[in-house]
Amino acid sequence: MWTASVLTLFPDMFPGPLGASLAGKALAAGLWQLEAHDIRDAATDRHRSVDDTPAGGGAGMVLRADIVARAFDALPSIEGRPRLLMSPRGAPLTQARVKEIAAGSGPIIVCGRFEGVDQRVIDARNFEEVSIGDYVLSGGEIAALVLIDACVRLLPGVMGNTTSSDSESFSDGLLEYPQFTRPAEFEGRTIPEVLTSGDHAKVAAWRRAEAEKLTKRRRPDLWAAWQRAQGRDKGE
């Protein structure tokens, strides 16, 4: 079963929002599992210390390599699973990477705190640093929730319509086209006529054109990458 194992100083933050909506229903139904392990359980002193001052000086504290390693090594299942460290300096999380993680047996996720994690344990345990955006959070827990939610919704049986993720933003490199539903008119604004025409080919063409237009306007970086993937000149 797909299992997310989280190493954190705040295990009570889990499942949090993962216990509601699609993810929560799937968790209750046994479609996936969540384990929240307290890093402090690996501490050896009576104060359950897990951090120390930065070598070389500076503000804040750093999670100790020996403590994180001990917490990681105590996990019952390690082999063959992604080893992730949520970090603002990590590689940006993409939908493609989410699909890869969702297709496996589930990740082990370390939630950083303070000024970060001792580099030696990152290297020694081969952690993959992952970022959910160019900003800094108080810790990796919220980022871990985001990553897990993105994966869980792709697991078999979680989403009611198994094809609904095929046209979502980033699924094919583009942002998703605009969506509409009833009522037919809202404050003088109507649903585009093509969407009520019953012509599936025209609807598909309209949606693709709108997705391209939206991506080009809002995310020129994605647009350029998509153009390259299509073998087109990015200035087109």
Rounded to an integer, the average pLDDT of 207-212 is 97
- Class (C level, CATH) for 164-229: mainly alpha
pLDDT digit string, tens, across residues 130-189: 999 999 999 999 999 999 999 999 999 999 765 556 667 787 899 999 999 999 999 999
SS3 assignment, position 234: coil
Any idea where the domains of the chain sit in the sequence? 3-152, 164-229
Rounded to an integer, the average pLDDT of 102-119 is 96
Rounded to an integer, the average pLDDT of 192-210 is 97
> Contact 225/234 with Cβ under 8 angstroms?
no
SS3 assignment, position 15: coil
**CATH T-level assignment (fold) for domain 3-152:** Alpha/beta knot (3.40.1280)
Query: How far is it, in rounded angstroms, from Cα 34 to Cα 171?
Result: 26
Query: How far is it, in rounded angstroms, from Cα 119 to Cα 64?
Result: 9
- pLDDT at residue 207 greater than cutoff 70: yes
Q: What is the pLDDT of residue 172?
A: 85
pLDDT digit string, tens, across residues 63-84: 999 999 999 999 998 999 999 9
Q: What is the pLDDT of residue 234?
A: 44
Q: What is the pLDDT of residue 171?
A: 73
Portion of the chain with pLDDT greater than 70, in percent: 95
pTM comes to 0.91
Question: Mind giving me the DSSP string for 132-163?
Answer: SSSS--SSSHHHHHHHHHHHHTTSTTTSSSTT
